[in-house]
Chains A and B, each alone.
Chain A
Amino acid sequence: MKSYVTRTGLFLLLAVSSAQAADDAGEVEFFEKKIRPILSGNCYSCHAADTKVAGGLRVDDLNGLLVGGDNGPAIVKGDPGKSLLLQRICQTDAKRRMPRDSDPLTAEQIADLTQWIATGAAWPVVGVPFSIGRERADYQELRKTHWAWQPLTKPSAPQVAASSWPVGDVDRFILAKLESAKLEPVKDASPEVLLRRITFDLTGLPPSPAEIADFLKDSSLAAYEKVVDRLLASSAFGERWGRHWLDVARYGESTGPSRNIPYPFAYKYKDYVLDAVNRDLPFDRFIREQIAGDLLPAADNAERDRLLTATGFLALGVKDVNQRFKVRFQMDNVDEQIDTVSRSVLGLTVSCARCHDHKFDPIPATDYYSLAGIFTSTDDKAGVRNKMGGNGLDYYDPAMLVKLSHEVAPPPPEKVAELQARVDEAKKAWDAIRGTPEGLKRAANGQPTQRPFRLKYERLQAEFQQLSDPVSQGYAVHGVTDSPTVADTQLRIRGEAENLGPVVPRGFLTVFDVPGSPSINPGQSGRLELAEWLTNAENPLAPRVAVNRIWLHLFGQGLVSTVDNFGIKGDVPTHPELLDYLANDFIAGGWSTKKLVRELVLTHAYRLGSEAPQDHVDQDPANRLIWRHSPRRMDAEEVRDAILAASGDLQLTPPAEAAVKELRMVEMRDNGREAAGIQNKSNTALHRSIYLPLLRGVIPRALEAFDPVTQTLVTGQRDATTVPTQALFMLNSEFVRNEALASAKRIRTEGGSTAQNAITQVYLKALGRAPSGDEVKRALDFIDAYQSDDFALADNESGQQSEEASTEIAATADGAAANPDDVPRDDQTAREGKVIADDSQTGAWMAFVQSVFASAEFRFIR
């Protein structure tokens, strides 16, 4: 029975459905007495959730039987003649008969099964817990009272006593709080500090010595404004602020656990994000494109491709491709999408309501499944399919990629003919040996002799397919499109994918009202309307969450400190009026990120110094009232980029090719050849960190030490821990030493001037300021002493850890192991080179530059 309900009427209908179920009591009893024992006694060892699902079929679940396995439905209700299950049980050919390797079922058992199917295949109904669907009084109360989901207020800026301090309303909101706490803001930051701060905050890069000199000549507010506009217009802005969104979008270039399959076209989504941020695409539009780009009108093919690429946001999540059950694979991916969308845009943990009503926030499970229906009506075209225990290209499904509009030129006919001949030949050889005693005999490696024949045939087949496939030539993206079958979905009892409750109509959250939001077009998935609901100006959460994140990236902490959770368990805003003021301002400014960033960095509050008078610290240790500018540690990308910029090695142009592009959609091990190759590319790359390959679980070495983002989780704010591995990275890593050496060499060849000038250049490039006289003296003393130490260089050979090892593994990569899951353990990523200067003078300069990189001052933006 399928019950179809409105959400408020759910409770009533549940009662009806259980009454109807009682009528089937006799048939259910027959099932329990006769049928279940047959299934569990003869079939479960190969066709049940606890064992495996041979042929894709499970018989411990009614839906499993109805949907069936690879050969179609196992039973058809009321029609034993069409039921594959009976056909296979009654087979006279013992090889094809089920249960395999066992005695056939008795005539009585077959008769019982036939009767059971003929009478409609009754199956016990799972009870729906009563709490689900009931309108809860506590929810009504929470909807009315919790600050975050009330409509935006329109606060006006408060009066302040020190009327000359503010440069705008934002400052007035801040100053008013400070004045009522009797705290005075500290002095403004020095020009050097301010320039370094604004340059890193907007671009993730340090100011150049020339930019520093310019600003020191004129550090007026007008000059500062010019700097701000220059930075906002630079492509480096998108490279930093695009990264902030990628953190939130849990961006990763592979499926992650449990079998790590690369997403070779993921970088196109990344490029889309960077481009959108640099073009200052309105944020509401940005969200709409990522959730429903495929459903938006496009003027031409280029725009269509851009919009399709945007939906990578939904598709590029963590996916458990090893999942046996398609329905679980789908519902897990849907859950991942709901979690990502709700936390990234709304700061709400909606996926808590997958198994039960949300424990804290007024999000009933029915809300969750009203959203789930939108995503089950969507094809998740990440290019992967689920399969248990697969290998090679098993997980790759080119049909499940979004193809771009590009026309692919037909391949040269002679090449087609040549390859076709080779395929035919390989097929002939494979057919000849397949299943013969000779073919099944074990070869020296323990494998059947026929195996190489099959592999060769498959490889050539794949090559042939690749010749003309637009996907394999790169004209594809991971994204989503509407599914051919659009439908509401059922509530799942306790979140179990197979455990179907009543159907819930597609819709949005009931936690707050969004007046004027459209209802779902029944002919589409509903993503378009969801996107409009999310970014409707009447939706109070999306703009609050967005401006709070912008605030975080400029002031070091959010006005709401829990940037990804605005629910009951989240923090309350320190400046609620300011938050709403900014949200209104953001909407009024056309959801322009650049405008809001510009407004904020021009405030007096942003330009404060970072000194910390004791009485201020005592009263407000965490600087929640913003009496100073809180220093922040560079994030991992900034550390790497700043080192490259200071050494002079940084290449500002993006790489011509993304490293992941060359990977096939085949499982990648943490320690294998592909991972080693990717690590190697990261290690030698000189462009900005945003362009490094970011496969889940294969973190570039140069980013690893400084709390890189967890690519599996929505992350609005990074950690900033201090651990000795960072010290070891600064002291010993190939990357830091390479760049210190490059810098030392440049100074000595380009410098031509005095050692003092060279030291000044290092300070300017790395720390954004000139050294004091004492600092110059300390540096000169160090270089002299280091040079004259004349130590024997640390043992040389240690750095050359077997580079040749990679070929060894490559030889076994083609499945020589008996089992695809038995993979070699040699860690091909476990090697590092040594960096040594040619002479002791360069060595001393190198050690000096490295020390500056390693200093705490380098890694803090004050």
Chain B
Amino acid sequence: MNFQNRFSRRSVLRSASSGFGYLALAGLLGKEAAAGVDLNPLLPKPPKFVAKAKRVIFIFMEGAMSGVDTIDYKAELQKNDGKTAPGGGKLVASKFGFKQYGESGTWFSELLPNIASHADKLCWLRGLHTDTPAHPQAVVQLHTGSANAALTRPSMGSWMLYGLGTENQDLPGYITINPSPNFGGAVNYGSAFLPAHFQGTKITDQGFLPNLKASAVAAQQRRQLDLIQSMNRDLSATPGAPDPVDGIIASYELGFRMQDKVPALLDISKEPESVKEAYGIKDGPDGAFARQCLMARRLSEAGVRFVEICQPGWDHHNNLHKGLIERTGNVDQATGALLADLHQRGLLDDTLVLFGSEFGRQPTAQGQDGRDHNITGYSMFMAGAGVKKGFTYGGTDELGIKAVEGQMHTNDLHATILALLGLNHEELTYRYAGRDFRLTDVAGKVATDIFA
């Protein structure tokens, strides 16, 4: 390859940048790439200030899990079953038993014994609120900071990739497993106006990624690749060859290697039986979330910057009782196992886990056996890098209707996550259509109280 001319090397680096394979590409490009931090948008970048969190696992409970039945114990609600709520409606106490766990004395309902066993590792955000009590907008807002459909914004994972680059250069830096097929769909992991290489890569819980399966055995495909690269090198040597040709040459080598590495990483079948048992891995739809949890650990361990996994089906306008038993049955064991596994491997030291929904549910009744949406006060928990352990920040009123202290809007949540990764949400900007955009738009307060 010809690196005589400085301009062309710069543009190679710029053009070849991608969610995949950057250090490897840098290796191919030779020694100078080590100095390429300012040239290449996806090389790992130092955070703006010292941060413990290097990556994020977001465990998304899509559909809005009922807090007062699971993670938000409200003694007053339990006492006032059947009474009229302020604002109207009839209060309904949770039918599930609650008890306290750990030294922190955190309350959990009987539905979540495994997550509860990690009580002293968790950092609760109990004063969350958001703008729209409808799933599509709230899901999009949770993922992109804005529910304005007319101008789609980049998703938070894209902003992180844009701000921090990616650690493992043979892998996508941002992976979302089984994302919502509605509620904004691809918007939730899209890069909008950020360059396309910052967008999330969608995979299924079976590890499906389009075009990843080699179309021929390796040696045969290598022979074909040699022909392609020979043609590419001819072009590269032509005077005035298009700048990105060297980037294309590198991208072929990376793609070729990814065919082996990525499926191996996504293949959980070779994990020890004890691990599979701990997560509750099983075939079929009931095992989907457990598979995602185990894949999330493997991906994070391999250095994927942002991993999102998803358990849908929490929208209990009716069938609350049975529905919660079923959903938590899918989620509790695997989430508990993931936390234990991350902890045991030391990954919790530099990985931030975020668990929660797009909003919460009311303490009042809807129909016979349901609860309606609540955007004025609900909880999520964090665990791992950078956050206090066994700590609670903020809270709702005694019935669980509205956040009354430590209020955090979705923008504040985003500002705080970015801060935990060492990024200043006000400085992480991208110029588009004549203005500088941010994940937090023109708002966002960092909840520094939760920092360890």
Contacts and interface: CB of A to CB of B under 8 A. Distances in A.
A731 B221 contact: yes
A100 B220 CA distance: 72
A714 B37 CA distance: 32
A759 interface: no
Interface in B322-355: 323
Interface stretch (A536-544, A597-605, A664-672): A664-672
Interface string B294-328: 00000000000000000011010111000100000
Interface in B26-41: none
Residue of B185, B232, B362 contacting most chain A CB atoms (<10 Å): B185
Interface in B131-154: 132-137, 139-140, 147-152
Contact of B242 (A323, A564, A633): A633
Contacts of B137: 258, 320, 322-323
Contacts of A704: 210
Contacts of B18: 721-725
- Counting chain A CB atoms within 10 Å of each CB, the highest count among B150, B181, B184, B235 belongs to B150
A351 B178 CA distance: 35
A847 interface: yes
Contact of A46 (B88, B139, B211): B88
B3 interface: no
Most buried by B among A102, A732, A825, A852: A825
A697 interface: yes
A50 B359 CA distance: 11
Contacts of A564: 433
A723 B258 CA distance: 12
Given A258-B140, A823-B181, A786 B224 contact: yes
Interface stretch (B50-58, B101-109, B191-199, B404-412): B191-199
B272 interface: no
Interface in A687-732: 697, 701, 704-705, 707, 710, 712-713, 719-732
A731 B255 contact: yes
A339 B151 contact: yes
A789 B219 contact: yes
Interface stretch (B73-81, B116-124, B244-252): B244-252
B181 A671 contact: yes
Given A42-B88, A712-B152, A732 B228 contact: no
A317 B215 contact: no
A73 B185 CA distance: 36
Contacts of A831: 208
A101 B90 contact: yes
Interface stretch (A206-214, A579-587, A611-619): A611-619
Interface string B232-274: 1011100111101101110110111011000000000000000
B380 interface: no
B242 A723 contact: no
Given A42-B87, A822-B315, A723 B20 contact: yes
Interface stretch (B158-166, B370-378, B387-395, B443-451): B370-378
A631 B242 contact: yes
B88 A789 contact: no
Nearest to B90: A101
Nearest to A389: B134
Contact of B375 (A50, A389, A609, A848): A50
Interface string A86-127: 000000000000011111000000000000000000000000
Given A332-B150, A670-B182, A825-B312, A101 B365 contact: yes
B100 interface: no
Which residue of B211, B213, B230, B313 has the most chain A CB atoms within 10 A of its CB atom?
B211
A621 interface: yes
Given A697-B185, A727-B252, A45 B85 contact: yes
Interface residue range, chain B? 35 or more
A169 B278 CA distance: 76
A258 B153 CA distance: 13
Max chain B CB contacts within 10 Å: which of A671, A701, A719, A731? Answer: A731
Contacts of A701: 210
B97 interface: no
A41 interface: yes
B368 to A, nearest CB: 10
B15 A721 contact: yes
A731 B256 contact: yes
B230 to A, nearest CB: 7
Contacts of A854: 228, 252
A825 B195 contact: no
A516 interface: no
A165 B97 CA distance: 88
B240 A697 contact: no
Interface string A528-548: 000000000000000000000
A649 interface: no
Nearest to A322: B136
Nearest to B216: A794
Of the listed residues A43, A99, A786, A821, the one surrounded by the most CB atoms of chain B closer than 10 A to its CB is: A821
B424 interface: no
A827 interface: yes
Contacts of B247: 722
A610 interface: yes
A731 B187 contact: no
Interface in A746-797: 778-779, 782, 785-786, 789, 791-794
B183 interface: yes
Interface stretch (A283-291, A373-381, A565-573): A565-573
A257 B137 CA distance: 8
Contact of A723 (B87, B251, B317, B374): B251
Contact of A856 (B5, B182, B210, B232): B232
A819 interface: yes
A324 B239 contact: no
B227 interface: yes
A737 interface: yes
Interface string A10-50: 00000000000000000000000000000011111110001
**A322, A667, A832: most-surrounded residue (chain B CB, <10 A):** A322
Interface string A830-854: 1110110000000000011011101
A289 B259 CA distance: 50
Instruction: Kindly name the residue among A51, A565, A609, A799 whose own CB sees the greatest number of chain B CB atoms within 10 A.
Output: A51
A830 B204 contact: yes
B433 A52 contact: no
Contacts of B217: 791-794
B5 A617 contact: yes
A319 interface: yes
A732 B139 CA distance: 34
Contacts of A728: 210-212, 255, 258-259
Interface in A190-210: none
B152 A733 contact: no
A614 B136 contact: no
B242 A832 contact: no
A727 B431 CA distance: 29
Nearest to B317: A819
Most B C-beta atoms less than 10 A away, residue of A317, A704, A794: A794
Contacts of B136: 257-259, 320, 322
B46 interface: no
Contacts of A848: 227
B323 to A, nearest CB: 8
A52 B240 contact: no
A272 B233 CA distance: 44
Q: Interface centre among B197, B215, B216, B373, by most A CB within 10 Å? A: B215
17 contacts: A50-B133, A51-B373, A101-B365, A257-B152, A257-B187, A319-B149, A360-B435, A610-B240, A614-B5, A617-B7, A633-B242, A721-B18, A722-B16, A798-B213, A851-B227, A851-B231, A862-B242
Given A258-B147, A352-B433, 9 more contacts: A611-B240, A631-B240, A670-B181, A713-B152, A719-B196, A724-B20, A727-B254, A778-B227, A778-B230
Q: Report the 6 A-B pairs with minimum CB-CB distance, sorted nearest first.
A: A258-B136, A727-B255, A723-B18, A320-B149, A611-B240, A612-B240
